[in-house]
Amino acid sequence: MLKIDFLVSNEECENVLEKASETLPKHLQLKYRLLLEELFSVMVEEISGARAQIRIQGSIPKVVLQVKGEKVDLFSNVKWNSDRNEDLQSQIRFNLFVDNADRIKQKYNSRRKLNTYVLKEPSKAKTTEQKIDEFYSKGEKITPLKQILFFRELYTFRFLFATAVKAMRSAPLIVIPIITARLIDLIIENEANLTNIFILIGIGILSLVLNVIGAHFEGTVFKKLIHSIEADIRSAMVRKLQRLSLSYHNNIQTGMVTTKIMMDVDRISFIYNTFIGELFQLLVYIGAAAVMTLLECKWMTLFYLLCIPVAVAVSVFFRKAVAYRNSEYRKDQENANAAIEEMLDMINLSRVHGLQKNESTRVDRFLNKIKKSGTELDSLNTLYSSLSYVSLQVFQLVCLLFSALMARGGWITIGSIALFQSYFATILSRLTALINHMPEASRGIESFRSVSEILCINDVEHSGTTKVNHGMRGRIEFRDVCFKYSDKSGFAMKNFSLVIPERKSIAIFGGSGSGKSTILNLVTGSLEPHSGHVFVDGMDLKDLDLNTYRHQIAVVPQTAMLYTGSLYDNLTYGLPYISRSMVESILEAVDLKDFVYTLPDGLDSVIEEGGANLSGGQRQKISLARALLRRPRILILDEFTNALDRKSEMNILNCVKRILGTCTVLIVSHRVETAKMVDEVVVLRGGSIIDQGSFDELVSKDGPFHDMYSKH
């Protein structure tokens, strides 16, 4: 094992780098040297003067670097130099760390002020996330039972430990009836001396101690297991939603998705947390009763075998009656959630037009459906629970009668009556609890079906394997592209061809349904042509890795997407390597710097949800600044000035003029002013180009654009 102690400085780091690289296997030397080099650079810039220690150990090396000083997170903001080259270097460095995130582990000991970075080759074993994604990626309908068993197998050891914990919790209810029966028999037989009594009491106390220990572990290990399952399912759903196609998201209501992720997963956790726990304890008691009855009296075993299946049959009969109602109730809840979310999205529109009553009436229809289906479900559950309780109490009376007759005939002792009655009462009480939980368990089973509606769907966005690097130029070519939306009969685009040279700008005009949005979605890879090709720098877009490709593009939509948080966080969304100096230079480019100075906390000022405390022009400038911070090779401006007044629009257009020529720019607009500043103008109708050329060319000849310009 190599161990080096050194001073965090440029000279020392270079020496350490040489020594460390030589000790690594040849196939890892270049990769780890590059990672260590950038890591050392961070250390020098952040906590120069501190001492560090590096250790390299093992045949498959693990490099451990420990540095004393303040916390430095490699995947978050760090104080980069204000020079623009340093900003570019920080972006490259950040991407290097992100690309090797599975090789880098970092932690910080605040008490010792110690940063620890571990570089290690990733394990070839599948992660929990990979196993879950693989299980649900088969594309077939997976039954709730298969899903329940899958998560049990995924956490086999923890489930086994939880089983042992549940058994410990059950100890008093198994042991104390035996002690009671034995004491009764000893008293009847005049053998109840103090020694026997204290031994039995000691065993009882031991069972109670086991119960307390089991309760402790149940509150830690078992509950943690349940929360892990909840988090895994929710995380899997979020990952799947990120991969699903644009058409899927356009056709599903977000309220339904939210219900599935939050409420349905809560119900699933009930299956593991309560229902399976109750079922296991019931099986423990049945097992204990079976052993004792076989030892004491085989006739009692036969009685148990006859009565318990009948009691289970009663519960199954009622469960089937409830299952359908649960499904209807769940669907009514999803529809109501979606309606409420729509109402909230349209609150301003409905208020402006005086439609509050209409909206309330519309939502009330969904709420009344919940009320009706919920009332029917609760009525059925009440009847079901009542009949179950009565039927189980009848079985208990039958058990008491049968054991009394067996004692009268000399088959069992008087103490055994108490034992068997206690066991039978415990089994029936657990069975009653299980039956009472059946309605909620039915909802949980239905929720498994609900989440699988997302997790098992195959409508996944296609992505190629060719990674796109920072050298992308931004030349776009449409070649004989045909595209058709699934919910429409005709083609939105047919045999469409267009070339947009790198660093050139183009404005796209056309009426509703002309194909403007289709072009933008094809460029971003959100839609895939039915035939023909979209090329970027001569590479077919369907062959490109969309994740790396989209790092090179930026979109400014018609409505600025802002979230509650600081202005700085909104600007640097998804860009943790960006420095404040770079943010300030971009703010100056989009005429926002003076506005930021007027805010009470500057860049740290809080923006309300949706940018409610900003003007429309300010929101769009922030959206444009965020796009420019990405240093895009392709910039898409989608009707980004349509909602602005004339003054704000001209202000924004002046900002856009400054960036023309630095990247390929696509502008979709209804405003002819945008045509004056771009290299080329395209007019669409029905997915085809009906006019094309520079602004001067098009206004000097008769054609669709000339007519549009004349009317303006």
Q: 470 in a domain, yes or no?
A: no
Compute the distance between CA of residue 312 and CA of residue 322 in angstroms, rounded to an integer.
16
Beta bridge partners of 120: 62
In sign, the C-alpha dihedral spanning 297, 302, 308, 314 is negative
- Residues 404 and 518 grouped into a single domain: no
Lowest mean pLDDT segment, chosen from 165-179, 186-200, 465-479, 647-661: 186-200
Q: What pLDDT is stored for residue 315 in this prediction?
A: 63
Q: What pLDDT is stored for residue 351 in this prediction?
A: 65
Mean pLDDT value of segment 513-537: 90
Q: What pLDDT is stored for residue 82 in this prediction?
A: 38
Q: What pLDDT is stored for residue 681 in this prediction?
A: 93
pLDDT at residue 495 tops 60: yes
- Residues 101 and 164 grouped into a single domain: no
Compute the distance between CA of residue 700 and CA of residue 712 in angstroms, rounded to an integer.
15
User: Chain-wide mean pLDDT for the chain?
Assistant: 81
> Per residue in 148-196, pLDDT tens?
888 888 888 888 888 788 778 878 878 888 888 788 877 877 766 777 7
- Residues 591 and 542 grouped into a single domain: yes
Lowest mean pLDDT segment, chosen from 106-120, 256-270, 318-332, 436-450: 318-332
Q: What pLDDT is stored for residue 78 in this prediction?
A: 45
- Residues 567 and 441 grouped into a single domain: no
Q: Which of 455, 487, 514 is the last residue of a domain?
A: 455
- Residues 436 and 522 grouped into a single domain: no
- Residues 203 and 301 grouped into a single domain: yes
Tell me if residue 629 falls in helix, strand or coil: helix
Instruction: Locate 307 and state its tokens.
Output: 């009565």
Q: 463 in a domain, yes or no?
A: no
Mean pLDDT value of segment 342-360: 72
- Residues 90 and 137 grouped into a single domain: no
Contact 533/480 with Cβ under 8 angstroms? Answer: yes
Mean pLDDT value of segment 399-416: 79
pLDDT at residue 432 tops 90: no
Tell me if residue 496 falls in helix, strand or coil: strand
Q: Which of 217-221, 622-626, 707-711 has the highest mean pLDDT?
A: 622-626
> Per residue in 566-609, pLDDT tens?
888 888 887 766 777 788 888 888 888 888 888 888 888 888 77
Compute the distance between CA of residue 196 and CA of residue 389 in angstroms, rounded to an integer.
39
Determine which helix (DSSP H) or strand (DSSP E) holds 585, and give its type and residue range.
Answer: helix 580-589
Q: What pLDDT is stored for residue 81 in this prediction?
A: 39
Contact 432/217 with Cβ under 8 angstroms? Answer: no
In 3D space, the residue among 329, 326, 311, 287 whose CA is nearest the CA of residue 434 turns out to be 311
Q: 420 in a domain, yes or no?
A: yes
- Residues 172 and 234 grouped into a single domain: yes
- Residues 694 and 568 grouped into a single domain: yes
Instruction: Locate 563 and state its tokens.
Output: 């979230």
- Residues 341 and 379 grouped into a single domain: yes
Q: Give one DSSP letter per residue of 422-482, joined into a string.
A: HHHHHHHHHHHHHHHHHHHHHHHHHHHHHHHHHHT---BPP--SB---TT----EEEEEEE
Q: 126 in a domain, yes or no?
A: no
- Angstrom CA distances, 671 to 5, 622, 667, stand at 65, 21, 10
Fill in the amino acid letter for 431.
L
pLDDT at residue 503 tops 50: yes
| CATH number for 598 | 3.40.50.300
Q: Which of 455, 490, 511 is the last residue of a domain?
A: 455
Mean pLDDT value of segment 448-462: 85
Compute the distance between CA of residue 615 and CA of residue 168 in angstroms, rounded to an integer.
63
Contact 333/370 with Cβ under 8 angstroms? Answer: yes
- Residues 52 and 186 grouped into a single domain: no
Longest dimension (CA), the chain: 121
**Reported confidence tier of residue 536, pLDDT bands at 50, 70, 90:** very high
Q: What pLDDT is stored for residue 684 in this prediction?
A: 92
- Residues 439 and 498 grouped into a single domain: no
Lowest mean pLDDT segment, chosen from 593-597, 608-612, 656-660: 608-612
Pairing of strands 664-668, 505-510: parallel
Mean pLDDT value of segment 288-305: 75
pLDDT at residue 700 tops 80: yes
| CATH number for 19 | 3.30.565.10
Q: What pLDDT is stored for residue 534 in this prediction?
A: 94
Please, where are the H alpha helices in 244-355?
246-251, 254-259, 265-270, 276-296, 298-345, 347-352
| CATH number for 228 | 1.20.1560.10
Mean pLDDT value of segment 409-434: 78
Compute the distance between CA of residue 544 and CA of residue 524 in angstroms, rounded to an integer.
11
How much of the chain exceeds pLDDT 70, in percent?
91
Residue that has been written with the tokens 């309760």 in this structure: 215
Q: What pLDDT is stored for residue 85 in this prediction?
A: 45
Contact 417/403 with Cβ under 8 angstroms? Answer: yes
Q: Which of 97, 120, 143 is the last residue of a domain?
A: 120
pLDDT at residue 36 tops 50: yes
Q: 127 in a domain, yes or no?
A: no
Compute the distance between CA of residue 281 and CA of residue 168 in angstroms, rounded to an integer.
10
Q: What pLDDT is stored for residue 80 in this prediction?
A: 39
Q: 167 in a domain, yes or no?
A: yes
Which residues constitute the domain of residue 592? Answer: 476-711
Q: 464 in a domain, yes or no?
A: no
Edge-to-edge strand order for the sheet containing 62-68? 2-7, 51-57, 62-68, 114-120, 104-109
Spatial CB neighbours of 541, under 8 Å, sequence gap ≥ 6: 464, 522, 525, 533, 534, 535, 549
> Per residue in 252-266, pLDDT tens?
877 788 888 888 898
Taking residue 513's Cβ as centre, other Cβ atoms within 10 Å add up to: 15
Q: 469 in a domain, yes or no?
A: no
Q: What pLDDT is stored for residue 481 in this prediction?
A: 93
Mean pLDDT value of segment 237-245: 87
Mean pLDDT value of segment 255-281: 83
Q: Which of 7-11, 59-63, 471-475, 477-481 has the highest mean pLDDT?
A: 477-481
Please report how the helices 414-455 and 171-188 are oriented relative to each other, as an axis angle in degrees rounded to 10.
170
Beta bridge partners of 564: none
Residue, of 680 and 120, whose pLDDT is higher: 680
In this prediction the pTM is 0.69
- The number of distinct structural domains making up the chain is 3
